[in-house]
Copies of this chain bind each other. A is one copy, B any other.
Amino acid sequence: MPPVSDIDQHLVGKLRERHLRVTPQRIVIHRALCAQSQHLTADQVLARVSETLPGTSLPTVYSTLELLEELGLVRRVGTGNSAVVFDSRVEPHAHTVCRRCGAMADLEGTAAPDDALARAGAAGFVADHAQLVVWGLCSACAA
């Protein structure tokens, strides 16, 4: 994990590039996502952000997450279960999702997405990202 100042600089650079404003909300929301290697829902982001920036609103969280996604700093991961989660690991990678407790975890070392991107391209589809979700029971729930 890079230091906070580097994380901030990355965001500030991208914002300046596009002549967008650097606001405390954007800085803090971005930090919240990078700080934890967990996957957070919009509600969870708001909870973390509120600790350091009370009064922040959910609509701002949503609009900022959308912006961060456009800037390529965050990925939206849809499992089909309830809320969408946001992930600061932007390279294609796999997730496991537990059917019982809903826990989500990274799955390391799957070459799957690269293969899929190539095949999609061959089919005339201009692919920019692949997400792989594996359903089942986590080790805790399987017992």
Residues of A near any B CB (own CB < 8 A): 76-81, 84, 94, 96, 98-99, 105, 107-113, 115-117, 119-120, 123-139, 142
Contacts and interface: CB of A to CB of B under 8 A. Distances in A.
Copies in the complex: 2
B107 A132 contact: no
29 contacts: A78-B79, A78-B80, A79-B80, A94-B120, A96-B125, A96-B127, A105-B125, A107-B120, A107-B123, A107-B125, A109-B119, A110-B116, A111-B112, A111-B115, A112-B115, A116-B134, A120-B136, A125-B134, A125-B136, A125-B137, A125-B138, A127-B136, A128-B135, A129-B136, A130-B132, A130-B133, A130-B134, A132-B132, A133-B133
Contacts of A134: 116-117, 120, 125, 127, 129-130
Contact of A80 (B77, B130, B138): B77
